[in-house]
Structure 1
Amino acid sequence: MAYTHITPGWEIEMSAHYYSDKNADRVAELIQLPREELAAMEEASVAKEKTIFSKCSEIETEWKKQAAETAALRKAREYLRALPVEHTSNQWKVNQFGWHVLSNMVYKMSYRVSEHKKPDGTLINCALSWDIHYNTLQHPTPDYTGPGWKIAGQSDKVFATKEEMERYLQGRIKAYTHLFTEISPPIPQDQKGRFCVNGVLLPGYTVEVPERTPQEVADDLLSLLEDGDLPEQSEGDPPSPPSEKAGSPLETQAAAPHERRSPKEDPKTAHKKKPQPLKKRSTAPTR
């Protein structure tokens, strides 16, 4: 073969070329045959080449299946090699660079204070740098990729006095205290990948369960009901009769006219008027 190459679990390559050999060709023999016979023999030879080539496709399919197994074995070994994250068990500690660090398996908060003084030791101001981010895995390297790795933070925020800086710092710490009540707090759904190796969540971690919507809760309750729990109404059942207290449409229409108020009537004095007696109609003269 002109060129062959294999990278287990990833790639195979094969390339071959045929170069004519005058000493091996049967040209002198074949030219004795009729043209029609030569054409038929060439067509048959091409068909055999394609049959042989189809075996290469079968080999490729077989190799891909085995390559998938090789890749899976490598990923499993990489998962088992992943080192657990270092953390302070939700206790403040000072590292070798002077940063105060509070961390657990998921979150990490750090801060450092720098004081600026005059030659005589008088404080000019102090600067606070702090941040909070996900305490990502260290193998093969920490995952700093994508938006959201850093949750919050500021760099060199200047304060005139230590007291002012301390109040601000304690406010920031208090704002994120809820993240440091457990050694392994649940991971937000959209950050799960940072704590996975090859798509598998590492041991000791859990993922937040999203809150269910009212519609999902209602659907689950309905799914628990049996057929006899809901009232049924057959198609032939007549509609329920109207309540006796409710007047019929005709009675409502008949009662409506005497409730209407004259447009010229003053609503403030309408209730003071006494009803006038009805005049007796005189009978028509008899003819």
Structure 2
Amino acid sequence: MEKYDDYDVLDFGTSLIPGAQIKIEHSVSSEKADLSDLISRSAEDLQALREESAASEQKAYEIILSAVHQWEKQAAFTQRIDRAIQYQRIPAVQHTSNEWVQGEDGEKTISNMVYKMTCRIKDDSHWDLWKSQGYKPCWSVRWGVYTNSPKRHGSVGIAGQTRVFKDQESAEKYLRGRIKAYAHLFTEISPQIPKEYDELFRVNNQLLPGYRSEAEPAPVAHQEKASVLEKLSTVKSHEKTAASKIADKKKEDIHR
């Protein structure tokens, strides 16, 4: 609360968040103010004085509104700048340039700017004392295909499975088939993004640099269009050719 000579002001949260929000809410109280300069006046004078004071308030209010509108325009520009900064701060996604890379845990990974595939074959063979055979061969295969967006939480599962085989040969054959089935995703460094994953590669509605999306229309191939003069020239040429043929025919008719 701010105290002045004959009134108090309560501030209910005046604040500014650049590019987002402005808040101005004040309340005035003059319950303990001296009224000696007013109570001696006639009711008509007081009413006229009140209307004049209220009109001055209205003018001040309109000035404030004008300033608020000016702030709105400026805040919108500040927000656009902030959104552009957010866009530029997104780091480029890390990938293996469509080459298989093996990690320390035995998992293999291939990736580009849009897709990532991981796979692993693990020997889970073990002794089973409750079985008559004793030793139980077991090979587990785990694979998955994901989006490889540079955005946080931009990795979305596209396909994947975990399967168990009784021998290593069957496990490797199955995995080779899965790798072949998705090999078409890893022929380009930046393949075209399907519409359903488009938002994963956008920041503030803008497609990140280096990407192509099915959601955006392909650029129209440049086609050279004949100018008006060229079209007229073509028409005149046809007319001259036709006139020449007619003239030649007339000459032939005369000689006959």
The TM-score with structure 2 as length reference comes to 0.71
Greater CA radius of gyration, 1 or 2? 1
Q: 1:5 aligned to 7, 15, 19, which one?
A: 15
Q: 1:143 aligned to 140, 147, 154, which one?
A: 154
Mark the runs of 5 or more structure 2 residues left unpaired by the alignment.
1-8, 129-133, 219-256
The TM-score with structure 1 as length reference comes to 0.64
Offset of residue 210 of structure 1: 8.2
- Percentage of identical aligned residues: 39
| Residue 84 of structure 1: aligned partner | 92
- Determine helix, strand or coil for the equivalent of 2:51: helix
Aligned length: 204
Structure 2: how far apart are the matches of 1:82 and 1:19? 51
**Contact preservation (8 Å) 1:85, 1:136:** yes
After the TM superposition, which parts of structure 1 deviate over 4 Å for at least 4 consecutive aligned residues?
Answer: 119-123, 209-212
**CA-to-partner distance for each residue in 1:104-160, whole Å, 9 max, x for gaps?**
11111111122212359955211111110111115xx2424xxxx2111113x2111
Mark the runs of 5 or more structure 1 residues left unpaired by the alignment.
213-287
Letter of the aligned partner of 2:113 in structure 1? M
Aligned CA distance change for structure 1 residues 163 and 57 (closer, same or farther; 3 Å): same
Aligned CA distance change for structure 1 residues 64 and 186 (closer, same or farther; 3 Å): same
| Residue 190 of structure 1: aligned partner | 196
2:152 maps to 1:131: no
Offset of residue 178 of structure 1: 1.1
- Determine helix, strand or coil for the equivalent of 2:28: coil
**Contact preservation (8 Å) 1:90, 1:103:** yes
Structure 1: how far apart are the matches of 2:55 and 2:30? 20
Structure 1: how far apart are the matches of 2:23 and 2:208? 36
Letter of the aligned partner of 2:19 in structure 1? G
Greater shift, 121-130 or 37-46, is seen at: 121-130
**Contact preservation (8 Å) 2:119, 2:142:** yes
Q: 2:40 aligned to 32, 40, 49, which one?
A: 32
**Contact preservation (8 Å) 1:125, 1:158:** yes
